[in-house]
Amino acid sequence: MDGNTISLFMFVALLGVLVLGMHISFGLYAVAIGFTYFLWGTPALNTTIMSIWGMMNNFPLVAVPLFIFMAMIMEKSDLVADMYDCFYKWSGSAFRGGLAIATIFAGALIGAVSGVVAAGVIGLGVIALPQMAKYGYDRGVNMGSILAGGTLGQIIPPSLVMIIYCAVSNVSVGKLFAAGVSAGLLLVALFSIYILVRAYIQKDFCPALPADKTVSWKEKFISLRVLILPGILIVGTVGSILSGMATPTEGAGFGAFGAVLFSIITGRFKFRMLRDTMFETLKVSSMIAWMVGGAASFSSVFAGIGGNQVITNMAMNMPGGKWGVLLLFVAFIFVLGMFLETMAIILLAAPIVSPIIVQLGFDPLWWAIIFMTLLQCAYLTPPFGLSLFYLKGVTPPDIRLADIYTSALPFVAMQMVGVALIILFPVMGLWLPWALYGQ
């Protein structure tokens, strides 16, 4: 049996175990070990074990549990309420759509502090949804702005998926973090422009707040104090990594310590919270470790049977040259995002797709930020976008899942506009890494 056929069987076998309900990490292990044993026998299992060790013996991965710990502490410290209250006061009655844009900005800042999508979507869903409904905002933009804003934590650093992608694809964490800032700001701008244009055209879409609901300039400036501590944490964590003063692991350590200090200063620290956070960090980190190990074993076996070369040959024969291959891979990642969660997409697709993109002559950092922006879409694309289910868990019973699906679609379109802009004008996704590190 030739390599082409065996490669196809490996993918079919993986899809089969996933359809049967096996977790992605254990499915990867099962297929890798099974094919290794039947193709090369028991001694070859050592090769699989060494591939797992090689992947796990990766120092930047130490940052993962530290960033998870930081995110859990900030989530339990009522950060979302503080952030939204500040942006709520500044949006005021100045223009239609102010509350929806405040939700986008609050989500971006929450993402920069915590890096966990669930915290942003659920927190904003509890706080922002009733406020926008109270002032007559269209239900679609209510839920859509929460989904879009809350999901920005996936692309705005510190981002766990970026660290995993860098471990798999050998891209610099600092450079990808910088590119994440560039792309994140681009998405914030696109989401805000959509809301403003739609509110201008459709007068009752996002009505301005009544004049009696505005606050004084003094109250607005006082509200900014809630941003001081998170701002220090962002600068100390992400800023130290981007500037080169700290490695990602050192920056994550500072962030974990700063998050605990933040909760103490704000009077929200409890030892029970610390205990719960440590257990949750252990569970999430263990899940990620199993997935990374499974992906390493699957990738090593797939490469061993020549599967990577098979896919490379197919890509090279695609019509449209290298740009045809790029568009094919963009469509491939987008479709995967409709059915798989983001970590699984990285571990399955990045080891195979990213080397081909680099071999075709594209900038690996440019492709990495395109990949990350596509993963941003994966959180919002029906039928299995995780943010859709996070929001459903905190919405009133009369809101159907189909309503949430519909509300997400305009913002998915804006995300794809962002992907197109980064492809056509790379500077839009790379201006910050270029400014910090050069081209």
Domain map (residue ranges) of the chain: 3-437
Residue environment code for 237-272, b if the CB has 16+ CB neighbours within 10 A, otherwise e: bbbbbbeeebbbbbbbbbbbbbbbebbeeeeebeee
CA dihedral 330, 332, 333, 338 (to 10 degrees): 130
Per-residue CA distances from 44 to 293, 296, 301, 342 (Å) = 17, 15, 10, 30
pLDDT digits (tens, 9 = 90+) for 167-192: 888 888 889 999 999 999 999 999 99
pLDDT of 210: 67
Q: What angle do the packed helices 139-150 and 401-424 form, to 10 degrees?
A: 50
Exposure of 390 in the CB half-sphere (CA atoms within 13 A): 24
Q: Terminal CA-to-CA distance of the chain, rounded, Å?
A: 46
**C-beta of residue 292 within 8 angstroms of C-beta of residue 61:** yes
All residue ranges of the chain with pLDDT < 50 are none
pLDDT of 212: 62
pLDDT of 214: 67
**C-beta of residue 164 within 8 angstroms of C-beta of residue 175:** no
Residue type, 397: P
pLDDT of 427: 94
pLDDT of 2: 61
Please return the burial class of 321, using the count of CB atoms within 10 Å of its CB with bins 0-12, 13-18 and 19+: exposed
